[in-house]
Every structure is written in structure tokens, then in C-alpha cells.
Structure 1
Amino acid sequence: MERCRELVRPALVEAVGSLHPWTGEMAAYALGWSDTAGTPDSGGSEGKGVRQAFAVLGAEAVGADGAEAVPGAVAVELVHTFSLLHDDIMDGDALRRQRPAVWKAYGTGPAVLAGDALLAQAVTTLAEAPGRHAASAVRCFCRTLNALVSGQAQDLRFEHRPWYGPGAVGPEQYRSMAEHKTGALLGCAVALGAVLGGAPDRTVTTLERAGRHLGLAFQAVDDILGIWGDPAVTGKPVHADLRRGKKTYPMLAALAGGGRAAHELAALLDPPQLLDHEAAAHVAALVEELGGRTATRHEARRHLDIARRALRDASLAHTAVQQLDMLFTYVLDRTR
């Protein structure tokens, strides 16, 4: 990931530098480059860079130079940052990467504006990509943007649906949401690299499918970290998802098991309420007792295996596939 980040970084800095100074300052803060005064921040986290790496490796996997994918890598990184800015507002998350979220640091209105600026710049960057594949890349990107909105809409509506009984969220509905909200952008990242690298449609489709399944694995691990992650590593409060009452895979899997513990868990969740530390810890223990963490880990591995099979079935450059496989392993084993 470090190699890919170094390749993409100059173009990413240029893209952010082209924004209005105020939105550019907020974007730099969101990316972990600076503090709220615009001063370079050595303690800021730039994030994992997974999507950038996927774009570069997508091009290399189809035999192209990784540099061909840089506009796609910049676009997915900008839109990922945009989605985090807006998600933090919608979810009421006050922290992001162990610092105040942009909306807490600058205000809600400015954070929305900064997100809008990042989205516009992402599309512009891709539309202005050199070569003859920019139009195809933009079409792929716009399909993904629609999927992201659909996934976020599903996620928000889940909050108003019951935990069990008629109208409850089922595992398949949850997977649909996760594929749109998380899988689509990872699939798009690797697909953009392939598109900009001149790959045929069939290869692009295969790589996008692999990325989408990796995204489902990524979301499953995120769900585990949202309940059991170490706040010092994740940068979010302990039991963050539980306190908000988010319908995540471990919770749904735990409730699906039935029995005394499942009924106790359901009683704690209905009616919806903001759980205090003690109640959240009890819920987390019940979810683990009911196999929610184990089931979610199995879900992550299942989608990871599907993604790996998709890569094996395609005719791709061996070295790039090896590096993609290393990224797949990182997704499963990450702690933040």
C-alpha cells in the first residue's frame, strides 16, 4: 500500500490544492495532512489507502503501468473521504481517526460543503484523465456513486426498522446494503484501474466482482471492530455501533439464533435507546455468546474466498494478483 500511496500522493495533493482554500483546508484535515489551523500535522492519520492500492493494482493486473490508474485512484480516495464526511454527520460520530470529525471541528454546514467539493473534484479528476478511456471510467464511477447513495439510504432506513418480527432486517437485506455502501467503491477502485489500463469489459467485470466481495468482507470486519475494536486503534469510542443501535451483521446473526439469550438481547434493544457503557458491554457479551462475532468472521472469510476465486478465474498478471491477495489478507486481519 505504501508504494501505491507514494505513486498517487502528488496527484492527490494537486487535486485537493485546486479546491477553494477553505474547502481545501477541510479536505486536508479530513485526509490527515493538517490540523484545523492548516498546519501540517505529523500525528494525523492518512487512512489505510486500500482503495488507492486497488486502483493501481487493477491496472497492473491487466498488464498496464500502475501510473495509468492514478486518476482513478485519486477519484476513489476523494469520494471515499467525501462519504466519510457526510456519514459522520448522518451518524453523529464525533471522532474520526482519533481526531474530531470535520463537522465537529468546522461545523456541520462547512463539512457538508467540503464533502460536496471533494465529490465534484473526484468526477473532474476522472473526466480529465489522459488517454481514450476517461469516458468509460466516468460511467463506471457514476454507477458507483448511485450505488453508494442507495447503500447509505438503506443503512439509514434500517435504523427505523424493528430488530425482530415483521419488518425486521434480514441477512440478505443487510448484505445488499453492505454491497452498495462498501463493496461498490472497492469494486469500482479495482475496475477503474483496469478500465484506465485498457482492459476488455469481461476482465473489468471480473475484477469489479472481486472488489465487491472484498468490500463485503471489509464491512464484516468493520462490524466486528465497531463492537469489539480497541478505541486506541480504531479512533472511535468503545462499543460505538452498539451505543447508536446500528443494525450490523454480528447483531443480526446473534438475534437469528433464537433461545433465551436472543430473547434477552432483543428485550435490551427494544425500544431503541442510547445504551450506557454498562448496558453496551452487556449487549456485546450477549452478542458474542450467541455467536455473532464468529458468524461475522465466517461471513468475512466467505466473501474473501469468493473474491480470490474470481481473481484465479481471470487471466491476470501474476505479481499484481499476489499483491492483491496480500491486500485481501490485510482486510481480514486488520484492527482499524
Structure 2
Amino acid sequence: MTAVQAPPSAPEVLARCRRLADPALREAVGRLHPWVAEMAAYSFGWCEVGGAPAAAPGGKGVRQALAVLGAEAAGADGLTGVPAAVAVELVHAFSLLHDDIMDGDATRRRRPAVWQAYGTGPAVLAGDALFALAVETLAAAPRGAGAVRLLSAALADLVRGQADDLLFATRPCTGPERVTLEEYRAMAEGKTGALLGCAVALGALLGGADEAVVGALDRAGRRLGVAFQLVDDVLGIWGDPDVTGKPVGGDLREGKKTYPVLAALGSPAARGLPELLDAPGRAGEAAALIEAAGGRTAALAEARAHTAAARALLTQAPAAPAAAGDLLRLLDFLVGRML
């Protein structure tokens, strides 16, 4: 009797997709100006400052995996989605380079951020180069015109989400001008969800999927992005620094209006919270009050709702069974850290 092979785990799916996309990603980066290529390679964890090879921690490769799986969901070979995987990975790296500058974050993945290692101007230049390279990569692919339009729409949403996130920090905690939970959801969908949705949709588009399937996968990725951001918000206040790479309460000290904060501010139990949020040295007290006022519970409940919506969209979309299973396992892996 033949043993039934267990389906691949989410880390195995990520590793397989990375093996497919990584050679093309490295080849694309290698076409850049040598100095810019070095900064890009540093951002991916491939080298140290000066170009010496390194094996520094990089990202999980979530977006490139979604692109490959999107192509497979459409019934195509995963290699068909590689141009989409390269493009979204380049765009993600570009957004991180610029985000670190805007947020003043000095470290990224336990190393100096690119702007700290090379300077602000060079980091902006490297980000611009990665964005241009992403567009070039997609434009050269079959169905490239439609793919570039899809990426452009996602980028417009990403910029809107990032703009809102920056502006939220300037708005008061109370009164008619305070940030609402509805505004937060729209921000998170743009800042985090747009590129995740675009990744899987681009893969499906290059794989020959029809418009309905591309749209369903895009919406599923956006829901996943909101859930991912919500979990990240919780970890940004209560996460283990050894796991997250972020200091405890870092988001509170930076004055970020994350979902747990906004949910708590709507509770009578958090009457003293605005004063604590204005005192960076009292982040521990603020975190305790946010939890007591239900902010942590509310954020995780919201993440579960968006995870369930993403799962429903993936389940209902007419996709190749193996790819659909991989997408669902990846979904659970990404948001299952706290749920």
C-alpha cells in the first residue's frame, strides 16, 4: 500500500517558491548600477556594506511565494509567476527602504537600515531604482501591460495607506478629529494589504486566470494583509523582542495609532490613556491599560475576522487544488502567530 504523502508545510512552500524566484531576483538586481546593486543586495541580506558576501536574515519571501502560488492556482507552472514574484519583491524592498527613512527606524532585521549604513540620499536612490526595476521586469513579461496596470493600482493604494499612517500620528487621541477604526482598516488595506493582494493576483494574471479569479485572489490577499497588520500591531506592543526584532512597546513610544490603541481609546476603561501615550517613558503603563481596556482582544478578534474572510475567498475561488491548499496553509502560518 502506497503511503499518502503529507502536504508541504508553510515554511516548505516558502522555501520552494524562493528557490524558483531567487535566481531571477538576483539576476535583476545585478543589472543595476554596481553601487545601487550593492545597497539592494544589502537590503536583501545578501552582502555586508562594501559588498562582502553575507547570510544576514532577510524577509520570509511571502510576496514572491504568493505570486508563484497565484500562477499555480491558475493552472500554470510556478515559473510563469516568477516575473511577478521578482516585481513584488523589488517593490516591497523599495517600500521598506523608504519607510525606514520616513519612520526614522535605524535598524531593519537586526542590522542597520540602508539609510543608516549608506546615507539617506543613497537609500532613496536605491529605493527608486528597485521600483523602476520592478516595472521593467513586469513590462517584459507576457501579459505585461495588464500586469503593470495592476501593480500601478496597488502602488497607488500603498502610497495612500502610508500617507494616512504618517498623518495618524499627528491627530489627537480624543474628540472629533481622532482616528476611527474604519480609517485604520482602510489604511492597513492600503499599506499592507494592497501589495499582498497584488502579488497573488499578478501571479494569477500571468498564469492566464480570468478577471474574476484575479479579482478574488486580490481581495483575499488584501484581507490577509489587514489581518497580518493587526497581528503585527499586537506584537509591536506585547511581542518578544528576541522574536520580533523590535523593542517592547516600540510602537507606543513612536506614537503610532495602531488598532489596539484605537480600540482601547473607545473604551471608558481607558480614560487616562491619552496622557500615557503622550509620555514615551510610560509605554509599559500604557500597554497595561490598553490590554485592560480590551485593545489587545479587539485587535485579535478583528484579525480573526479578516483571516476568515480571506480563507472564504480562497476556498470559493476556482483554483488548482494543490495551489489552493498551499495558499491556505500560508495564510494560517502568517497570521497564526497570535490567533
Q: TM-score range by the shorter chain?
A: over 0.9
Tell me which residue corresponds to 1:145.
155
Q: Distance in 1 between matches of 2:248 and 2:38?
A: 29
Q: Is the 8 A contact 1:75 1:123 kept in 2?
A: yes
Note if 1:22 corresponds to 2:35: yes
Tell me which residue corresponds to 2:80.
68
Q: Distance in 1 between matches of 2:293 and 2:57?
A: 35
Q: Is the 8 A contact 2:290 2:296 kept in 1?
A: yes
TM-superposed deviation, 1:238: 2.1
Residues 180-223 of structure 1: CA deviation (Å, up to 9, x unaligned): 11000000000000000011101100110100000000110111
TM-superposed deviation, 1:332: 1.3
Q: Distance in 1 between matches of 2:113 and 2:249?
A: 18
Structure 1: unaligned runs, 5 residues or longer = none
Q: Distance in 1 between matches of 2:53 and 2:249?
A: 31
Tell me which residue corresponds to 1:242.
252
Residue correspondence of structure 1 range 150-169 to structure 2 within 5 A:
150-169=160-179
Range with bigger deviation, 325-334 or 21-30: 325-334
Q: Distance in 1 between matches of 2:120 and 2:337?
A: 30
Note if 1:2 corresponds to 2:10: no
Tell me which residue corresponds to 1:266.
274
Tell me which residue corresponds to 1:291.
294
Tell me which amino acid in the other structure corresponds to 1:209: R
SS in 1 for 2:271: helix
Tell me which residue corresponds to 2:10.
none
Tell me which residue corresponds to 1:183.
193
Q: TM-score, normalised by structure 2?
A: 0.94
Note if 1:125 corresponds to 2:128: no
Range with bigger deviation, 221-230 or 208-217: 221-230
TM-superposed deviation, 1:39: 1.1
Query: Sequence identity of aligned pairs in percent?
Result: 62
Note if 1:80 corresponds to 2:92: yes
Q: Is the 8 A contact 1:221 1:296 kept in 2?
A: yes
TM-superposed deviation, 1:333: 2.2
TM-superposed deviation, 1:253: 0.8
Note if 1:312 corresponds to 2:312: no
Q: Distance in 2 between matches of 1:61 and 1:171?
A: 33
Note if 1:40 corresponds to 2:53: yes
Tell me which amino acid in the other structure corresponds to 2:44: L
TM-superposed deviation, 1:334: 3.5
Q: Distance in 2 between matches of 1:329 and 1:187?
A: 16
Tell me which residue corresponds to 2:262.
252
Q: Distance in 2 between matches of 1:229 and 1:38?
A: 33
TM-superposed deviation, 1:319: 0.9
Q: Distance in 2 between matches of 1:242 and 1:166?
A: 22
Tell me which amino acid in the other structure corresponds to 2:42: Y
Tell me which residue corresponds to 1:282.
285
TM-superposed deviation, 1:47: 0.6
Q: State how many pairs are aligned.
A: 325
Tell me which residue corresponds to 2:332.
329
TM-superposed deviation, 1:41: 1.2
Tell me which residue corresponds to 1:11.
24
RMSD: 1.1
Q: Distance in 2 between matches of 1:334 and 1:31?
A: 23
Residues 66-112 of structure 1: CA deviation (Å, up to 9, x unaligned): 10000000000000011011101111111110111111111111111
Tell me which residue corresponds to 1:98.
110
Q: Distance in 1 between matches of 2:245 and 2:275?
A: 30
Q: Distance in 2 between matches of 1:15 and 1:230?
A: 36
TM-superposed deviation, 1:237: 2.1
TM-superposed deviation, 1:298: 0.9
Tell me which residue corresponds to 2:3.
none
SS in 2 for 1:34: coil
Given candidates 55, 63, 66, the residue that maps to 1:51 is 63
Tell me which residue corresponds to 1:300.
303
Tell me which residue corresponds to 1:203.
213
Q: Distance in 2 between matches of 1:59 and 1:38?
A: 34
Q: TM-score, normalised by structure 1?
A: 0.95
TM-superposed deviation, 1:37: 2.0
Given candidates 226, 230, 242, the residue that maps to 1:216 is 226
Q: Distance in 1 between matches of 2:294 and 2:15?
A: 36
Tell me which residue corresponds to 2:4.
none
Q: Is the 8 A contact 1:29 1:35 kept in 2?
A: yes
Q: Distance in 2 between matches of 1:309 and 1:67?
A: 27
Note if 1:172 corresponds to 2:182: yes
Q: Distance in 1 between matches of 2:96 and 2:34?
A: 20
SS in 1 for 2:177: coil
Q: Distance in 2 between matches of 1:143 and 1:30?
A: 25
Q: Is the 8 A contact 1:147 1:181 kept in 2?
A: yes
Q: Is the 8 A contact 1:98 1:234 kept in 2?
A: no
Structure 2: unaligned runs, 5 residues or longer = 1-13
Q: Is the 8 A contact 1:55 1:72 kept in 2?
A: yes
Q: Distance in 2 between matches of 1:236 and 1:101?
A: 13
TM-superposed deviation, 1:236: 2.1
Q: Is the 8 A contact 1:99 1:235 kept in 2?
A: no
TM-superposed deviation, 1:167: 0.4
